[in-house]
Structure 1
Amino acid sequence: MGDLLTVALAQVQGRPDPAENLETARNRVEEAARRGASLVVFPEMFMALPGKDRSPALLARESDSFLDGMAGLARRVGLTVVFGLWEPSDDPERAYNTAAVVGPDGTLRGRYRKVHLFDALNVQESETMTPGNAPPEIFLHRGVPIGLAICYDLRFPELFRHLAFRGAELMIVPSAWYQGILKEDHWLTLLRARAIENTVYTAGCNLTGGAFCGRSAVFDPFGVPIASAGEGEELLVGQISRRRVAQVRRRLPTLAHGRRDLFRDE
């Protein structure tokens, strides 16, 4: 296996119809394959954008069929796909906000349920969503250890440190990051900071259109921007190098220098 891993971020508009989003996925996954990617990422809430008559709990009733559709697509094209999914929770009025990972064989390789709900800036996710109760796990793709976070998680560095100490070399962040005063600056600054402080790649895939700002981006372990998008729909492609991670960690061994005897990482 070569050193370079090509990752595609599908910056798309949020739409309310899961069937329409499956068609968007088909087009973007096929394009990602043509451009040499083996892993393609879709934003948070990609399954369906909620609304007044489309609560997450209602949308979650279609989670199995949407997951099956994405699995069939991943298997047909032969790529690993990461995407936002609504899942039923024990509360019939609220759903889990999930990032799912489907492998090129169509099997579910990973699942992370968002633990930090965005109850801020006049948004109350906890009214319609149930928080996850477990930290994200590492999944392997072509030998690269990858961690997942979702949107608002980006403001909680301990989650990323948790993943870094467990070997992650790439952090994928599906998001529905809102527009607003300084919000785009926060998004890009935090993606870059999480990369620098953990000497990992970070790849943030955001929704665009409506209230969302786009600006998907990939930063390398030294904080160098290697790919970035504007505010429109776009398939962004970047390359991940394990050799680059090792090189930066030799030059800047912050993970090795961490005083875990004094500061617990969980």
Structure 2
Amino acid sequence: MRVALAQVITGRDLDGNLRILEENARRAKEGGAGLVVFPEAMMRAFGNSLLDIAEPLDGPWAARVRELAKELELVIVAGMFTPGTPSESGKARVRNTLLATGPGVEASYDKIHLFDAFGFAESDTVEPGTDPVTFDAGGLTFGLATCYDIRFPALFTENARRGAVVNIVSASWGSGPGKAEQWQLLARARAVDTTTFVLACGQGDPATQGVETKGTAPTGVGYSAVVSPFGQVLESLEGEPGLIFADLDATVVQEARQKLPVLANRRDF
């Protein structure tokens, strides 16, 4: 199956972000992809209000993505925000959701591990998810994860236990000293941990477009990559927006698991 990763930079405007999604989805289809991955916060960039734009999975934003996926006969994975339940203190919250939709595919994943780190508190406004999610497309099983999830190997292992041969990570990674290097390292580590392909798709770095960001909101650093089950970077980008393609073959995962049976050898403590 040919896949594409669209490293883009979103903003505040929902319609504008949809136009970015549509443009890149069409380019992915033209390039022969059967699935295209977009970053976290595709609906609206972090650093903007989220409560006022969160909508259910059958709302207009998701419906437009769904219509586009149907038109192009292409599976689209993209980050959006759905309504959450109030916190115990009564504070309104959203869910940080990955929508996966396309031919034979309709799934969604709510980010489990919230980014309460490096001076940012995602849990102030976001309700955590509770369940791993996988889906099948093009003869492959995909697992879903979002940004900070990449620091927690157990989620990726559980996805693999459920049959995933590919783990998708959509992100809007926070910038800072060493952060891009950590993102790259973690993507490769999760691939080796689970002998799966990892599709690590992040928001591009706004600074590459002359956009100065303020505050602690994670707005992206780029460095999206396709990683093999042995941790080899097959395709990658730097900070600028771009689109990359890769051909995924389940037999590569089977061969890796024969040579390096870490899932079979794993012990729970």
**TM-score of the superposed pair, with normalisation by structure 2:** 0.90
Q: Is the 8 A contact 2:171 2:220 kept in 1?
A: no
Residue number among 49, 57, 66 corresponding to 2:45 in the alignment: 49
- Cα distance, 1:74 vs structure 2: 0.6
- Matched to 2:203, the amino acid is L
**Higher mean C-alpha deviation, range 83-92 or range 73-82:** 83-92
Does residue 111 of structure 2 align to residue 117 of structure 1? Answer: no
Pairing of 1:206-245 with structure 2 (within 5 A): 206-210=202-206, 211-245=219-253
Partner of 1:93: 92
Q: Is the 8 A contact 2:95 2:110 kept in 1?
A: yes
**Higher mean C-alpha deviation, range 84-93 or range 226-235:** 84-93
- Matched to 1:109, the amino acid is E
Does residue 73 of structure 2 align to residue 78 of structure 1? Answer: yes
- Cα distance, 1:42 vs structure 2: 0.6
Partner of 2:210: none
- Matched to 2:50, the amino acid is P
CA distance in 2, matches of 1:250, 1:13: 39
Aligned length: 252
Partner of 1:69: 64
- Matched to 1:104, the amino acid is P
Q: Is the 8 A contact 2:56 2:83 kept in 1?
A: no
- Matched to 1:83, the amino acid is A
Q: Could you report, residue by residue, the CA deviation over 1:141-192 in whole angstroms, capped at 9, with x for unpaired residues?
A: 1110110000000001111111111111000000001221110111010000
Partner of 2:123: 126
Q: Is the 8 A contact 1:56 1:129 kept in 2?
A: no
- Cα distance, 1:230 vs structure 2: 1.1
CA distance in 2, matches of 1:36, 1:209: 26
CA distance in 1, matches of 2:113, 2:233: 26
Q: Is the 8 A contact 1:151 1:177 kept in 2?
A: yes
Pairing of 1:19-30 with structure 2 (within 5 A): 19-30=15-26
Q: Is the 8 A contact 2:40 2:80 kept in 1?
A: yes
CA distance in 2, matches of 1:96, 1:212: 19
CA distance in 2, matches of 1:101, 1:62: 14
CA distance in 1, matches of 2:200, 2:265: 27
The runs of 5 or more residues in structure 2 that have no matched partner are 207-218
CA distance in 1, matches of 2:23, 2:174: 25
CA distance in 1, matches of 2:189, 2:55: 37
Q: Is the 8 A contact 1:77 1:104 kept in 2?
A: no
**Alpha carbon RMSD of aligned pairs, Å?**
1.4
Q: Is the 8 A contact 1:218 1:227 kept in 2?
A: yes
Partner of 2:197: 201
Q: Is the 8 A contact 1:40 1:80 kept in 2?
A: yes
What SS is found at the alignment partner of 2:33?
A: coil
Partner of 2:9: 13
